Amino acid sequence: MPFYPNGHLKRHLLTDKQYISALQQILLGLRYLHKRRIIHRNLKPKNLLIDKDKDKITVIIADFSLSKIATPTNNLLNTFYGTLPYATPDVFPRRTRTSNGYGAKVDIWSVGIIIFNIYSLLEVPPLPKKKDPRRQAVIIEK
């Protein structure tokens, strides 16, 4: 994988036109992945690398360490993965026990949270300093 010296989406103040272009590229990338049954499960600004050339921006979806291929016999997933502020309620342990699981829509939810963050419409709640997934999940669910 090439080096992207411009870093990730969170590090940039972009124009509205660039943000719209970035969003289109993210959604097209997700369409490509989802057609191939790949669910990223950890979309967040730090996993969206930026390549800038003057006013043109290119977004690269990165970090597939938590991604999963949904097999034809198992289209829904049940394991809890992702970065809590960007995770859909469907992935929380209490929720997955009472449902049939989750699918590719978890990535779309994450894109929605990214949009809210870009336009400061949503404050991400502070998480406990100690990495206690159960406690963090309770805070996010509230």
Rounded distance, CA 98 to CA 121, Å? 30
- Is residue 137 in some structural domain? yes
Average confidence score pLDDT of the chain: 77
Write out pLDDT tens, residues 27-71. Answer: 999 999 999 999 898 899 899 998 888 778 899 999 998 888 877
The count of domains in the chain is 1
Q: How far is CA 107 from CA 5, 14, 46, 104, in A?
A: 25, 22, 14, 6
Residue 68: both structure tokens together:
């999963």
Backbone angles phi, psi at 89, to 5 degrees: -55, -25
Q: What is the CATH number of the domain that holds 63?
A: 1.10.510.10
**pTM (2 d.p.):** 0.73
- Is residue 1 in some structural domain? no
Q: Which amino acid is at 72?
A: P
- Is residue 3 in some structural domain? no
- Is residue 117 in some structural domain? yes
- Is residue 100 in some structural domain? yes
- Is residue 31 in some structural domain? yes
Least confident range of 14-28, 65-79, 103-117: 65-79
Print the domain residue range for 38: 9-141
Q: What is the pLDDT of residue 89?
A: 73
